[in-house]
């Protein structure tokens, strides 16, 4: 293990610092947020990767949401009741308007649910909502959702389902709506300068808590060191996805502050188990043994990340204590690779700038030390998503990823990654499918946990996916910024305050 700790220290990557010009001085009047990349979509029913979600979640309202402590609370819905095990009736606020001035009604809610659950719409989020079979507006302020049997993760998933205006979407179409989205949230869409920034303006007529900032700019700044340089120069107010080295830099400089929180996000090595050499169980076992999770979490990242033995985090309902996993054993991994024909077939490790490349490089080195031939392939996030969601014929051989469903329920991570019906999955395992189906229908928490235990054990026995660590979220912020990181990593602009 020591050799890999030394290796990890040697893999720290220096970044060239180039401060991007700001469209205005960062202040209370303009709040500037630097993200690793630009949104791949501003239509909330299309993508939900962090760079997209962090922007559009402020433009749209949801039926329900989570507070900063993670509790599910009302948003557009004022109350709800179970009509039966498969029907839930929601009462809707009557004082919510979209940014074009039209009133939000139960018809918009029903339309939004049907849109994201329509297989023809092909939302990457479909697997989260495909147990919803119908949505009916009973009257202007009442909507009833019907599920295909009991569906206990429903409320955990609904915190992600944004409400779009039926009339606008039907009039302009999917592509135009993505270019100029209309929501009912605390901020309104202004402009999207591709590759540079998205600007929002405060919705002064918002029904709920109003934002502190008249305008907000979300900028695409791929290099983390540049994001920190911008913060320290006063060109930005909040920067995202930093590492331990940059936290230390902020703290040492006295310019700005670091904000760190534990999340539900799980980092993992994804594998296409239909592609050589990953179709060999012994190769996957060797990969699991070759990866020093403790070294990655504590040696590279060192901002509170915790190694995990399962594709879930302690923040999820579905986390199971005592799950066994293949031990870290670099020598055994090398022995397996050297004795397995075809194990050294050259493969590419897909990544994107949003991820910490020190981790990606460490994974590559560990696998190559075990006798594999791994080359890193860098691509932008939209192309990364396209490949990862493309099904077994498209999914890359191996890829580093970090997954958060924003729901804190294991259904939101295990079902899309492992169920045979999902475009994210290359796994075809009837036992896992059955357990996942049971867990998303059973109203018994004990039965759900037993099903997830079976999934975790089978995943580790076959090494379909290699869990790595529970991720922390690390922000840099101006001293005047009052912001609380949340387990689901949401940046709600109307919960951020500025203190002079």
- What is the DSSP code string of 302-323? -SS-EE-SSSS-TTSBT--TT-
Location of each CATH 3.90.76.10 domain in the chain? 64-168
The whole-number pLDDT of residue 26 equals 40
d(CA 356, CA 114): 37
The whole-number pLDDT of residue 70 equals 79
Band of residue 408 on the pLDDT scale cut at 50, 70, 90: confident
Burial bucket for residue 267 (CB in 10 Å: 0-12, 13-18, 19+): buried
The whole-number pLDDT of residue 8 equals 34
* pLDDT, tens digit (0-9, with 9 covering 90-100), for 274-299: 999 999 999 999 999 999 999 999 99
The whole-number pLDDT of residue 205 equals 96
- What's domain 64-168's architecture? Alpha-Beta Complex (3.90)
The whole-number pLDDT of residue 455 equals 98
CATH of 30-58+173-261+473-498, one of 3.30.70.1060, 3.40.640.10, 3.40.190.10, 3.30.2310.20: 3.40.190.10
Query: 3-state DSSP call for residue 459?
Result: helix
Rounded mean pLDDT of 335-362? 95
On the CB side of 37, CA atoms within 13 Å amount to 18
Cα dist. 460→73, 98, 336, 368 in Å? Answer: 35, 47, 17, 22
Chain-centre distance for alpha carbon 195: 20
Band of residue 173 on the pLDDT scale cut at 50, 70, 90: very high
Location of each CATH 3.10.105.10 domain in the chain? 2-10+264-471
pLDDT value at 300 more than 50: yes
* pLDDT, tens digit (0-9, with 9 covering 90-100), for 427-471: 999 999 999 999 998 989 999 999 999 999 999 999 999 999 999
Q: CA angle at residue 122 from 116 to 127, to 5 degrees?
A: 65
The whole-number pLDDT of residue 10 equals 36
CB 33 within 8 A of CB 259: no
pLDDT value at 16 more than 80: no
CB 141 within 8 A of CB 92: yes
**All residues at 6 or more sequence positions from 106 whose CB lies less than 8 Å from its CB, including other chains:** 90, 92, 137, 138, 139, 140, 141, 142, 143
Instruction: Round to the nearest angstrom and report the end-to-end CA distance of the chain.
Output: 48
Query: 3-state DSSP call for residue 169?
Result: helix
Band of residue 125 on the pLDDT scale cut at 50, 70, 90: confident
CATH of 2-10+264-471, one of 3.20.20.100, 3.10.105.10, 2.60.40.10, 3.90.550.10: 3.10.105.10
């Amino acid at each position: 293990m020591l050799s890999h700790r030394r290796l990890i220290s040697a893999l720290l990557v220096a970044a060239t610092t180039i401060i991007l010009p700001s469209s205005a001085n960062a202040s209370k009047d303009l709040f500037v947020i630097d993200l690793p990349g630009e949104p791949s979509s501003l239509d909330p029913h299309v993508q939900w990767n962090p760079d997209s979600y962090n922007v559009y979640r402020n433009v749209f309202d949801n039926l329900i949401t989570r507070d900063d402590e993670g509790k599910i609370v009302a948003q557009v819905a004022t109350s709800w009741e179970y009509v039966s095990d498969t029907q839930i009736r929601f009462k809707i606020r009557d004082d919510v308007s979209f940014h074009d001035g039209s009133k939000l009604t139960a018809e918009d809610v029903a339309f939004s649910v049907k849109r994201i659950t329509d297989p023809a719409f092909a939302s990457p989020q479909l697997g989260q909502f495909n147990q919803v079979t119908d949505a009916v507006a009973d009257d202007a302020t009442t909507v009833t959702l019907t599920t295909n049997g009991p569906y206990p993760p429903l409320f955990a998933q609904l915190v992600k389902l944004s409400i779009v205006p039926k009339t606008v979407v039907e009039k302009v179409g999917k592509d135009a709506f993505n270019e100029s989205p209309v929501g009912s949230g605390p901020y309104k869409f202004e402009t999207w300068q591709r590759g540079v920034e998205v600007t929002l303006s405060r919705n002064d007529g918002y029904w709920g808590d109003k934002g502190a900032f008249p305008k907000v700019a979300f900028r695409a700044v791929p290099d983390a060191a540049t994001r920190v340089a911008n913060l320290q120069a006063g060109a930005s107010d909040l920067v995202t996805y930093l590492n331990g080295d940059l936290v230390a830099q902020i703290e040492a400089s006295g310019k700005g502050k670091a904000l760190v929180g534990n999340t539900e996000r799980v980092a993992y090595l994804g594998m296409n188990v239909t592609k050589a050499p990953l179709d060999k169980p012994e190769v996957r076992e060797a990969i699991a043994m070759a990866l020093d999770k403790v070294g990655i979490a504590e040696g590279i990242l060192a901002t509170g990340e915790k190694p995990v033995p399962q594709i879930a985090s302690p923040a999820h309902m579905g986390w199971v204590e005592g799950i066994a996993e293949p031990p870290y054993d670099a020598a055994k991994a090398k022995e397996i690779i050297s004795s397995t024909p075809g194990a050294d077939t050259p493969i590419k490790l897909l990544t994107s700038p949003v991820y910490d490349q020190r981790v990606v490089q460490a994974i590559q080195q560990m696998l190559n030390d075990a006798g594999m031939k791994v080359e890193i392939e860098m691509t932008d996030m939209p192309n990364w998503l396209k490949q990862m969601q493309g099904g077994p014929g498209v999914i890359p051989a191996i890829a580093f990823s970090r997954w958060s469903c924003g729901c804190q329920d294991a259904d939101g991570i295990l079902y899309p990654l492992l169920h045979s019906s999902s475009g994210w999955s290359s796994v075809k395992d009837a036992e896992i499918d059955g357990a996942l189906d049971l867990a998303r229908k059973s109203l018994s928490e004990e039965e759900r946990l037993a099903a997830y235990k079976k999934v975790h054990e089978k995943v580790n026995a076959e090494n379909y996916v290699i869990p790595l660590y529970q991720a922390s979220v690390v922000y840099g912020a101006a001293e005047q910024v009052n912001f609380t990181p949340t387990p689901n990593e949401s940046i709600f602009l109307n919960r951020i305050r500025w203190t002079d």
